[in-house]
Amino acid sequence: MPRKGCWEHATAVLIILAACVLRMYCLPSQSVWSDEYVSVAYLDVATWSDFKASYRQHDPFMPPLYHVSLYWWARLVGTRAVALRCLSIGLGLASLCMMYILGRSLLGGKGALFALALFAFSPQQIYHAQGIRCYSFVVFFALVSAYAFWRMLHYGGMRWWIINAAAGMLLVWTHLGGVLLVAVWGVGALLWLRRQWSAIVLWGGFQALSMLPLAAQVLTTMHYQSRPDVGNTALSNPVMLLVGMIVPFFKDTSYVMNALPTAYLIDAGLISVRESMLARVLVVASLLLALFFLISLVSVLKQIVTERASWFLRTSEERKSIPGAALSEAEQQKGETSAMRFLLLWFLMPALMLYVPVVLVNSAALVPRYTIFASPSLHLLVAGSVIAIRKPKRMVAWGAGIIILMMIFGLSTTILPIRGNYLALGQLLETGYDGQSVAVLGDSPLLASQVAYNSTLPADRIVQVYSLKEISLWLDKELMNAESVWFVLEETEQLEDPIMLPPVEHLFMGKGVEYSRHFFYGPQLLLAYHIRR
């Protein structure tokens, strides 16, 4: 193997090791938050059919592949959160290897290393590589299908059609959003492989048959998501179009942004100056990184348009008269551009297709994880734009700026509560606990058992309430026999930030009880009230 190739592989190994450290670091301190707990809550049931029936009460739209894997994984390693997360970490590390392999095929060694570094430090990838959810599976199957499709384009062979079809099937059976990526490859096949019509027909038929058992699930999901009132608002609001266009550039940083203190906490002075400064710095860095990504994408589009325009402006005679060496160079340039066209299709088409439910159904479709299968394409596009810079100093400066910003966000995942602060809440409730009752109020119907899972408190001492009236009745009952109780309020759709405090605290004041409150910021704002009579 040439020395250059050895150096590139060694660098890739170092990046993957750094990514492994980032994904394993502080793993025991990661809370199990609401979406994850849906997958965890019923793992101790006796049979798979019981587990399936139980989790589908709360997550009826998720295909079964991940939950089958999780169920049998739990039988091997137990139901502790750290052990369960190792399943996703394994797939996340496999995705890093696939990212490097795909990057070398598309961009060469230098571009592959740059894309791998972005992928390794991406908060989005770190978050889902640690999650007790299906998204590490989604990313891995997406990378395998993308690599197989690229091999279909350039090397042919039925085996790559089979691998792409199999990866697409596994992707859809992991998450229904995978249908969008299958549609992307279908469009790509019609654009670039249309002469192989028999293979396209067989490939499409296989995909259709593999999705047929999920058809009822897809229709149920669409019916559930349909909210004409929200849809009409989105359709009449041109700002939604702008939001839909820029969201992909904030995917990587959104997971850190969600874990920062809210504007309400900052303005009210309820957090430290250090935390407030960190939040402001990361917001600015997020905007800067999105700008870097946007400029990189524009440069790729400019490169493609310029190359295609130059080619079409030539007459057929001029094309035929190109000398052999020049023709070889032109074909090489065309090959580079075809890689960029492939990546643009992978990146842009899911975002455009996702915008349809945004304007016709509701704005919930903007959730970044719904198109996480397209996120590697942005890293590869940015890497391609960087290595295309002709001036070495400018290329190094531009690339270093992007990498440093991404590293800042990647490292931030180790110090911020990206999955909420349920463990910290549990530790607070455990302090001096002497058997008093704990009441919780939030959107999730499993919140009480979720709080118990993230602490050592007995589950039978945690009750869930759903209204101010129930809180009042619970207080009257418990304070008759105890000196103090705890009440936990999770940020809900009805009670958010400034308006979530007065109703509850007015109730406490009306009853003449003393209380102290503790804030825990993160994707969900948590307030713990220690109430004393």
Q: Do 377 and 305 reside in the same domain of the chain?
A: yes
Euclidean distance between CA atoms 328 and 91, whole angstroms: 40
Q: Do 280 and 378 reside in the same domain of the chain?
A: yes
370 is a domain residue: yes
Q: Do 127 and 256 reside in the same domain of the chain?
A: yes
Read off the CATH number of the domain in which 464 is found.
3.40.190
The answer to whether the pTM exceeds 0.95 is no
Euclidean distance between CA atoms 252 and 243, whole angstroms: 16
Q: Do 92 and 172 reside in the same domain of the chain?
A: yes
Q: Do 429 and 397 reside in the same domain of the chain?
A: no
**Residue % of the chain over a pLDDT of 70:** 83
When divided into structural domains, the chain yields a total of 2
Q: Do 210 and 340 reside in the same domain of the chain?
A: yes
Q: Do 461 and 358 reside in the same domain of the chain?
A: no
34 is a domain residue: yes
Task: Give me the residue label for tokens 């160079």.
Answer: 329
Q: Do 378 and 480 reside in the same domain of the chain?
A: no
- Checking if the pLDDT of 331 tops 80, the result is no
**Angle 430-436-438 from CA coordinates, rounded to 5°:** 75
Q: Do 108 and 155 reside in the same domain of the chain?
A: yes
Which of 344, 379, 412 is a domain's end point?
412
514 is a domain residue: yes
* Dihedral of the alpha carbons of 305, 106, 161, 182, in degrees to the nearest 10: -60
Which of 412, 441, 471 is a domain's end point?
412
Whole-angstrom distance between the N-terminal and C-terminal Cα of the chain? 76
* Domain range enclosing 435: 422-532
Q: Do 175 and 73 reside in the same domain of the chain?
A: yes
> What integer is the mean pLDDT of 460-478?
92
- DSSP state, residue 157: -
Q: What is the pLDDT of residues 378-432, one digit of tens each?
A: 999 999 999 999 899 999 999 999 999 999 999 999 988 888 889 999 999 998 7
238 is a domain residue: yes
417 is a domain residue: no
Q: Do 390 and 463 reside in the same domain of the chain?
A: no
348 is a domain residue: yes
Q: What are the phi and psi torsion angles at 306 (to 5°)?
A: -65, -45
Q: What is the pLDDT of residues 473-507, one digit of tens each?
A: 999 999 888 889 999 998 754 444 444 566 888 88
- Checking if the pLDDT of 316 tops 80, the result is no
Looking at residue 247, what is its pLDDT? 63
Which of 412, 431, 460 is a domain's end point?
412
Q: Do 404 and 433 reside in the same domain of the chain?
A: no
